[in-house]
A and B are shown apart, each in its own frame.
Chain A
Amino acid sequence: MCRKLPGLLIAFFALLLVSCQKELDGDIIPGTVKIRFEGIVDGAQLRMNSPYRNAFNEDFTVTTFKFYVSNLTVTDRSGNSYRDAGYYLIDAADAGTREINLIPEIPDVASISFLLGVDSIRNVSGAQTGALDPANGMFWTWNSGYIMAKLEGVSSFATTPNGEFTYHVGGFGGTNNALKTIRLDIAGDTALIPNDGTLMVVIGAEVQRWFKGTNDLRIGANAFVHSPGELARRYADNYATMFSIQSVNPE
């Protein structure tokens, strides 16, 4: 053993060098699509605890803005698509949660679609983990199911004792299903994904759409929603229109 050992070690290191060399030779390396979600208010970046006014002239600040993104799909101009299997909890206050990296192995991105929320199957499949861990505060313990999107803040128009409004929107089945499929098309037809590079797509989520969209939802009329039902669905109908592509650039 002792006599063979130096020989073995030399062979081992030689192998290492050879395999490293193999990696450096060029196959085409597919590029990354980096999708970043930004909270925005009136088109500008959302600032937590900053004062704003909504379409009904109600003052508000935002203290929490979170939502689930799942079933992310990117499609190229020829119709080929790549679907990501991940579940992401986007927290507007936490930069570490806002970016999703995909390697779709398609040449360009013509459109992006995703489910705003957690699909029904996951809502009835028992204990989940990662972004779906109930410790994230996005799972109702007494009426099993995920909170798809959460908006909280303070307003003098909120009729709650502490002036807080808390919109926890959920419901994954039946007439008041709050799940929304969002589809965004790239302006100018499509964007190329650079080989061995990154295409950055910034998607804005406009908070004002929660209050004024398909429905007029004044803070003064409802300061909270905490269960599936018609009111939750109306908030979902509203915020389904909150997304827009802010920019598409190679990084």
Chain B
Amino acid sequence: MKKLYFFSTLLVAALAGLVILDACNKKDAQAAAPLTPLQFRVPQGFPAPTYNFENNSLTQEGFDLGKKLFYDGRLSQDGNFPCGSCHQQFAAFATFDHPFSHGFDNQFTTRNAPGLFNMAWLKEMHWDGGINHIEVQPLAPITAPNEMAETIDNVIAKLREDEDYKNRFRRVFGDEEINSQRMLKALAQFVAMLVSADSKYDRVRRGEQSFSAIEQEGYGVFQQKCVSCHTEPLFTDNSFRNTGLPVNPRLNDVGRMAITNNPADSLRFKVPSLRNVYLTFPYGHDGRFFSIGGVIDHYRSNVVNGPTTDPLVRNGIPVSDDEKYALLQFLRTLTDSTFLTDPRFAEVR
């Protein structure tokens, strides 16, 4: 009787162990289920990207988590300012129709929100190049008191309380840990995938379409007068230049010099990409130009010369009225409707 009792206890203990083992394996199996790799395609004729996903394995699940974060108002203090509130897909992820963007508590940003596309090719981000890596960029708007006005700790705490985020983080990263690094890497997967390379200009380059006569003429003007700074195919050389804009005394924005402390960088700002330019108005680091024609007029006759004004614009850029008109028609061809309406990048409602 004692022998039977002893072996029964052992049996129950062993079976209990097996059940626990099996349950553990199931959870691990869930976390370890293979993710769906996504391919980052380098468009024909584009240079090699700066960001390479080496330490951030690009997957559909990672991308989807990043997208959810991008459109989630909880990354802001009062829930009203997700990334997507200033970076609107229909405006090529710039802020439509605003020189500055709305932030927490009726405040405004102090610089014009750039469109988000082809970020994987950037070395520095922001008009003054203060951000040195795509993964750490979101920290700036999230913690800026006049933008999303949150703390990293609070954001992470909110994510940790959400069942859906817990499941997604476990799926993407293998365990339950939610921290700033994982959040930022997920966001980087989404943002880096925002590639714009299917405008009419791109299709012409690929031989699929042709420019109209006036567009072709405008392209010629562009290659003559604009391409040194707005270099194809990214339509920027990513350099920092002073384009002779008179200083706005209310902002006194010295641009790149605030980052490098180098007087040679005074009033220098990053050359923006002209892709989707018809959607990203107003223009300039402070959004002072509401039309592209206004920008061209600035280069034609309103450049203010100072010690750091770029030699390429110092004497103005002569553009006749006819050339200006043709240039505007060419710049229209940089609108990438595929990108603007791509459901992969759209907010899921």
Contacts and interface: CB of A to CB of B under 8 A. Distances in A.
B10 A6 contact: yes
A139 B134 CA distance: 15
A126 B180 contact: no
* Chain B facing A: main interface SS: helix
Given A129-B179, A129-B180, A124 B133 contact: yes
A187 B184 CA distance: 46
Contacts of A9: 10, 14
Contacts of A142: 126, 130-131, 140, 144
A247 interface: no
Contacts of A134: 136, 139, 152, 180
Nearest to B6: A6
Interface in A203-251: 227-230
B231 interface: no
A135 B152 contact: yes
A181 interface: no
Given A6-B7, A134-B152, A129 B181 contact: yes
B204 interface: no
B248 interface: no
A228 B259 CA distance: 8
A144 B153 contact: no
A113 interface: no
B180 A127 contact: yes
B185 interface: yes
B10 A5 contact: yes
A123 B153 CA distance: 21
Contacts of A135: 151-153, 156, 179-180
Contact of A126 (B135, B140, B182): B135
A141 B136 contact: yes
Interface in A92-126: 123-126
A127 B7 contact: no
B136 A144 contact: yes
- A126, A127, A227 pick with most chain B CB within 10 angstroms: A127
Contacts of A227: 258, 261
A73 B184 CA distance: 31
A39 interface: no
A144 B156 contact: no
B262 to A, nearest CB: 9
Contacts of A50: none
B23 interface: no
Interface of A: 2, 5-6, 8-9, 123-129, 133-135, 139, 141-145, 176, 227-230
Given A127-B136, A134-B180, A142-B144, 8 more contacts: A5-B10, A9-B14, A133-B181, A134-B136, A135-B179, A144-B131, A144-B136, A176-B261
Sorted nearest first, the 10 A-B pairs with minimum C-beta distance are A126-B135, A127-B184, A129-B181, A141-B139, A135-B152, A127-B135, A144-B132, A126-B133, A127-B181, A141-B140
22 contacts: A6-B7, A9-B10, A125-B133, A126-B56, A126-B134, A126-B135, A126-B136, A127-B188, A128-B181, A129-B179, A129-B181, A135-B151, A135-B152, A135-B156, A141-B142, A142-B126, A142-B131, A143-B130, A143-B259, A144-B132, A227-B261, A228-B261
